[in-house]
Structure 1
């Protein structure tokens, strides 16, 4: 059953809208008329319009496609993203990549250029370096015509932006990988290394070891090898028993576009680097920094010397903004992650809020783009910018394309599901919460007291209260608690997240419009003027 994670009360006049429904068809004046003009690159919050038809959060494949689709149908669209250029993690800095960079990163990376070119030609507003820290019901005192309000900071100024629809395309995060030594200098994630390659062209100049599981582990290894990095070994910790659950889905994978790419990737890595399989335990060792990886395979152990350890054991939906917006969610046992509850077009349990791409479940770049198009199309239909027949035809075509892009995905999920012993640290001394330096042993002590959920555990230990707000420890803490209680993460639930999900300064808040409701919220009273 999905976890209920709603606002205290739904906005007046809204009801649960589902894919292709007629909810909120009579919208009155919309943001396109209110904005008055389109600013292609917005650098300051003072240049933002007070309202838009659609606000898209995230400029990866899903966000770009959603913004393009909605703008094609005449909606006033704002796309807000934290990065300085569009592309998200998968297409990071692809606009400025050299031919050598494109060759090193592969054809899937280069494909992002065409999508970004289409986005650059669109009739919409784009706010890079913007932080969206809240999505909630609109303040009727500021804007009674739009049901939703987005809290955004841009250029050190915070503003409330009203919207008819919000599409969350917040992507994914690397799954935490807690084991002895994972916090020492010289240990980082494979995703972080890939970001450095894409954004700055930086690659390791020292002996490098990669460890973990998942397609990205081998992709980064291949990219590093093509860049001339000294990859000492790739240590594969994928549980062998995963084959039992994955094998039934193998026929669909073999006929999918993922199969040939995956085989080429594995062959490239095996041909050029040492691959150690069947690993059941790992430990990073060193005096003041990483110097070797100690790995166990059953009763046997080996030690691999190196200077840099790159870790990866899969990715999970980035849910912080989704949960803070009040969207329902559930525990997906097959991929061992929490996912938001959405329909075929990405509509969430919160009216007007849709989720597309890896933020709704890991699907990859191609499927993410198609989900973004569906979300943008659905917003256009709900706001009466496209007739039912045209909507039905386009939705059917996108749904077929999405089904093809998703073929084989179930096999990948089952095959590369990370093992429980790598998700839940066995050693009590292992740090779980890096921000507050909370160990697994401390969490087990608190779990033994009978805390009912992760929010109570947070109150006892501060686990999840640091700058990352649970992004690096949340899943580990929840699974550890569930195991201590003999239950499922579905029973424990996740952190109760509330806005702002990112730090907001007092100066930014001071720039917020001084409405009567805001004054009462801060001062407790409203001074009457004579």
Structure 2
């Protein structure tokens, strides 16, 4: 039977309980705001600190000290008395009477009932973090192929590590971090196929001196690489022409090594990664302006240094506003919360500025290394624009060749491409094809990706059932069901 949603109010609704969301909740509560934090996970922590408080692993130290450091933040968050809604999917946010009204569906678990919540908030902080960058290559849709980020999530949330030797392929810090975590967990790695171009250091070199402000990040990265090499894992650097082959599942990978020699490695498990990019679906659905970040080859929302978006009642903090890592995200959450408290009248401007000063300095230090990492690890255009026979939209099985052919006919952007090809119409709403589609159109039409644009995102922004949508409809007391006309 259809029921009206449960309604509640708060000063601040935070979407996401990762480092940015938890830090923002702590600071907002300190300022006296009534805070609700909604997150899809079973416990606070986000992707980076997933299950850090109660790890399913016998020894969580295999995930590293940075992961375990999240326990302190989680404890502070739980002590803040912010209302935490776990297993909650925010699938719509609208604006009514100068308030943001969000529809949340909370999934039931055990004896705990689920249901639809109607949350009215004076301000919204989007702290939805990052997603893995899509890397469409031949064979990436085969069973036995998974993103490294997804594999790491399984390790953190369920203690599941690959039972067979995996080939890790791609580029970026997470490639080396996960390889070292697998080795710490007693697993073996068949090989690492590193696609970082041989001359990437040339682009990174001008950023080396400023990056020394974040030298601890560089040292950690070097230690991880050394640990993997010391373990005897074969490492193939500057690999190109990477592909995955198999009949009904992954069976082998092919690539060309740094010497130009074609190579093949038999494996039933391939874990791929090309870095992470901001998760922009929710802020896009809210009407927040976005811009193409050429240095990182991704879209990011336009925000000021305090996280204010182009929409008056919306702030964005953490990796969802631009990739900076967990520590920078935590400081960004603190800064945004203080600005929100000022906007809502809980703090005056001098108090906000005083409390923000240390966090602003710390965030600047943690972000110092980002230009170097972006120059070193942002995949070149050849890796972001696949061959014609490669599937780009996994949901609707649309290939790069189909997208290029439609673009050649004059298709103006991703939204028209969606109408012509159904690309982006699946359950992910373009999360796994949006950036690639825009780049392919730009390539064919010799336009800037920023001019091509991105999909329009509409509610529901996450998959929900018809029952859950029906539960979101408030019924008046005098409501009567009419007969359907014959």
TM class, shorter-length = over 0.9
**Aligned equivalents of 2:368, 2:201: Cα separation in 1:** 18
**Deviation per CA, 1:129-181, whole angstroms, max 9, x where unpaired?**
1110122212xxxxx4x422112112453333211110000011101111111
| Pairwise CA distance, 1:253 | 2.1
Tell me, in whole angstroms, the C-alpha distance in 1 between the residues paired with 2:350 and 2:247. Answer: 67
Q: Deviations over 1:405-452 (max 9, x none)?
A: 1121110111111121111102x1111111111111111111111000
Structure 1 residue 463: deviation in Å? 0.7
Deviation, structure 1 residue 246: 1.0
Name the count of aligned residue pairs: 468
1:380 aligns with 2:329: no
Deviation at residue 356 of structure 1 after TM alignment? 0.4
Pick one of 334, 340, 347 that aligns with 2:308: 347
- What is the rounded CA distance, in whole Å, between the counterparts of 1:375 and 1:333 in structure 2? 25
> What RMSD, in angstroms, separates the aligned Cα atoms of the two structures?
1.9
Residue among 45, 57, 78 paired with 1:120: 78
| Contact 1:208/1:229, CA 8 A, preserved across alignment | no
- Pairing partner for 1:392 from 353, 371, 374: 353
| Normalised TM-score (structure 2) | 0.93
**Who is 1:474 aligned against?**
434
TM-score normalized by the length of structure 1? 0.85
Please give the alpha-carbon distance, in whole angstroms, between the structure 2 residues aligned to 1:509 and 1:462: 23
- Mark the runs of 5 or more structure 1 residues left unpaired by the alignment: 1-44, 139-143, 524-530
Residue 83 of structure 1 is aligned with which of 2, 17, 41? 41
Name which of 259, 273, 286 aligns with 2:246: 286
The CA distance in 1 between the partners of 2:465 and 2:275, in whole Å, is 33
By how many angstroms is 1:98 displaced?
Answer: 6.1
Could you tell me which runs of 5 or more consecutive residues in structure 2 were left unpaired when the two chains were aligned.
108-113
Equivalent residue, structure 1, for 2:103 = 151
In structure 2, do the counterparts of structure 1 residues 108 and 47 end up closer, same or farther at CA, with 3 Å as the change threshold? Answer: farther
2:123 is the counterpart of 1:165: yes
Q: Secondary structure at the match of 2:59?
A: helix
Q: Distance in 2 between matches of 1:56 and 1:224?
A: 33
The CA distance in 1 between the partners of 2:369 and 2:65, in whole Å, is 20
State how far apart, in whole Å, the 2-side matches of 1:385 and 1:505 are. Answer: 39
8 A Cα contact 2:393 2:433, kept in partner: yes
- Residue number in structure 2 paired with 1:270: 229
SS of 1:211's partner is: strand
Choose which of 434, 438, 441 in structure 1 pairs with 2:401: 441
Q: Does structure 1 conserve the Cα–Cα contact (< 8 Å) formed by 2:396 and 2:423?
A: yes
Aligned to 1:231: 189
CA shift, 1:275, in A, is 0.8
Alignment of 1:39-188 (within 5 A): 50-97=8-55, 100-138=58-96, 144=97, 146-155=98-107, 156-188=114-146
Q: CA deviation at 1:509?
A: 2.6
Q: 2:470 aligns with which of 500, 503, 510?
A: 510
Tell whether 2:167 aligns with 1:220: no
CA distance in 1, matches of 2:189, 2:445: 41
Give 1:245 shift: 1.9
Measured after TM superposition, the shift of residue 48 of structure 1 is 5.9
